[in-house]
Amino acid sequence: EVQLVESGGGLVQPGGSLRLSCAASGFTFSNYWMSWVRQTPGKGLEWVANINQDGTDKYSVDSVEGRFTISRDNAKHSLYLQMNSLRAEDTAVYYCARVDYDFWGYMDVWGKGTTVTVSS
Protein backbone atom coordinates (compact mmCIF):
# COMPACT_ATOMS: atom_id res chain seq x y z
CA GLU A 1 0.00 0.00 0.00
CA VAL A 2 1.29 3.43 -0.94
CA GLN A 3 1.58 5.43 2.26
CA LEU A 4 3.01 8.64 3.69
CA VAL A 5 3.18 9.16 7.45
CA GLU A 6 4.12 12.52 8.92
CA SER A 7 5.48 13.13 12.39
CA GLY A 8 7.15 15.87 14.39
CA GLY A 9 4.36 18.38 14.79
CA GLY A 10 3.58 20.04 18.09
CA LEU A 11 3.38 23.25 20.05
CA VAL A 12 6.31 25.66 19.69
CA GLN A 13 6.88 29.24 20.75
CA PRO A 14 7.27 32.04 18.22
CA GLY A 15 10.86 32.13 17.02
CA GLY A 16 11.33 28.45 17.76
CA SER A 17 12.18 25.53 15.53
CA LEU A 18 10.62 22.24 14.59
CA ARG A 19 11.56 19.42 12.23
CA LEU A 20 8.84 17.50 10.45
CA SER A 21 9.45 14.03 9.05
CA CYS A 22 7.56 11.98 6.51
CA ALA A 23 8.06 8.24 6.12
CA ALA A 24 7.20 6.84 2.70
CA SER A 25 6.33 3.25 1.86
CA GLY A 26 4.77 1.21 -0.90
CA PHE A 27 6.48 2.98 -3.81
CA THR A 28 9.96 3.76 -5.09
CA PHE A 29 10.54 6.94 -3.11
CA SER A 30 13.66 7.95 -5.00
CA ASN A 31 11.72 8.19 -8.28
CA TYR A 32 9.46 11.03 -7.19
CA TRP A 33 9.51 14.72 -6.46
CA MET A 34 8.02 15.34 -3.03
CA SER A 35 6.21 18.30 -1.49
CA TRP A 36 5.01 19.79 1.74
CA VAL A 37 1.58 21.45 1.70
CA ARG A 38 -0.03 23.17 4.67
CA GLN A 39 -3.61 23.97 5.52
CA THR A 40 -5.10 26.61 7.77
CA PRO A 41 -8.74 27.52 8.33
CA GLY A 42 -8.04 31.04 7.15
CA LYS A 43 -5.80 30.56 4.11
CA GLY A 44 -6.86 27.10 3.01
CA LEU A 45 -4.34 24.93 1.21
CA GLU A 46 -0.88 26.37 0.56
CA TRP A 47 2.00 24.67 -1.19
CA VAL A 48 5.08 25.14 0.99
CA ALA A 49 8.05 23.48 -0.70
CA ASN A 50 9.14 20.72 -2.99
CA ILE A 51 12.29 18.77 -3.77
CA ASN A 52 13.43 16.70 -6.71
CA GLN A 53 14.36 13.06 -6.71
CA ASP A 54 17.98 13.37 -5.57
CA GLY A 55 17.55 16.46 -3.43
CA THR A 56 19.54 18.80 -5.67
CA ASP A 57 16.57 20.97 -6.73
CA LYS A 58 14.39 22.69 -4.15
CA TYR A 59 11.71 25.35 -4.26
CA SER A 60 9.60 27.03 -1.61
CA VAL A 61 6.91 29.64 -1.26
CA ASP A 62 8.16 33.17 -0.58
CA SER A 63 6.65 33.30 2.91
CA VAL A 64 8.94 30.54 4.20
CA GLU A 65 12.03 31.30 2.11
CA GLY A 66 15.09 31.47 4.35
CA ARG A 67 13.24 29.95 7.32
CA PHE A 68 12.16 26.49 6.13
CA THR A 69 14.38 23.89 4.49
CA ILE A 70 13.13 20.80 2.69
CA SER A 71 15.37 17.76 2.46
CA ARG A 72 15.19 14.02 1.88
CA ASP A 73 17.03 10.80 2.62
CA ASN A 74 16.31 8.27 -0.10
CA ALA A 75 18.05 5.49 1.79
CA LYS A 76 15.58 6.00 4.63
CA HIS A 77 12.60 6.72 2.34
CA SER A 78 12.07 9.91 4.25
CA LEU A 79 11.23 13.54 3.60
CA TYR A 80 11.92 16.35 6.04
CA LEU A 81 10.96 19.96 6.68
CA GLN A 82 13.20 21.95 8.99
CA MET A 83 11.24 24.96 10.21
CA ASN A 84 13.10 27.80 11.92
CA SER A 85 12.05 31.26 13.14
CA LEU A 86 8.48 30.07 13.38
CA ARG A 87 5.66 32.59 13.39
CA ALA A 88 2.05 32.43 14.48
CA GLU A 89 1.00 32.40 10.83
CA ASP A 90 2.88 29.12 10.33
CA THR A 91 0.28 27.40 12.50
CA ALA A 92 -1.29 24.78 10.25
CA VAL A 93 -1.70 21.13 9.45
CA TYR A 94 1.33 20.12 7.39
CA TYR A 95 0.91 17.43 4.76
CA CYS A 96 3.62 15.46 3.06
CA ALA A 97 2.62 14.74 -0.53
CA ARG A 98 3.99 12.90 -3.53
CA VAL A 99 4.17 14.83 -6.77
CA ASP A 100 2.38 13.02 -9.56
CA TYR A 101 4.85 11.44 -11.97
CA ASP A 102 2.67 11.81 -15.09
CA PHE A 103 1.07 15.16 -14.26
CA TRP A 104 3.98 16.90 -12.61
CA GLY A 105 2.75 19.60 -10.27
CA TYR A 106 -0.23 17.85 -8.76
CA MET A 107 -0.08 15.79 -5.57
CA ASP A 108 -1.38 12.26 -6.03
CA VAL A 109 -0.59 10.76 -2.62
CA TRP A 110 -0.97 12.57 0.70
CA GLY A 111 -0.21 11.75 4.29
CA LYS A 112 -2.73 12.34 7.05
CA GLY A 113 -0.93 15.45 8.21
CA THR A 114 0.78 16.68 11.37
CA THR A 115 -0.33 19.75 13.29
CA VAL A 116 2.03 22.60 14.05
CA THR A 117 0.92 25.25 16.52
CA VAL A 118 3.03 28.34 17.03
CA SER A 119 1.96 30.12 20.19
CA SER A 120 3.38 31.52 23.40
Residue ranges that bind other proteins, judged by CB under 8 A: 44-47, 59-62, 95, 97, 100, 102-108, 110-113
What is the nearest approach in angstroms of other proteins to the Cβ of residue 108? 5
What is the nearest approach in angstroms of other proteins to the Cβ of residue 104? 7
Of 13 and 25, which CB lies nearer to other proteins in the complex structure?
Answer: 25
What is the nearest approach in angstroms of other proteins to the Cβ of residue 15? 25
Query: How far, in Å, CA of 3 to CA of 82, rounded?
Result: 21
Q: Transcribe 9-43 into DSSP letters.
A: -EEE-TT--EEEEEEEESS-GGGS-EEEEEEETTT
Q: Tell me which amino acid residue 65 is.
A: E
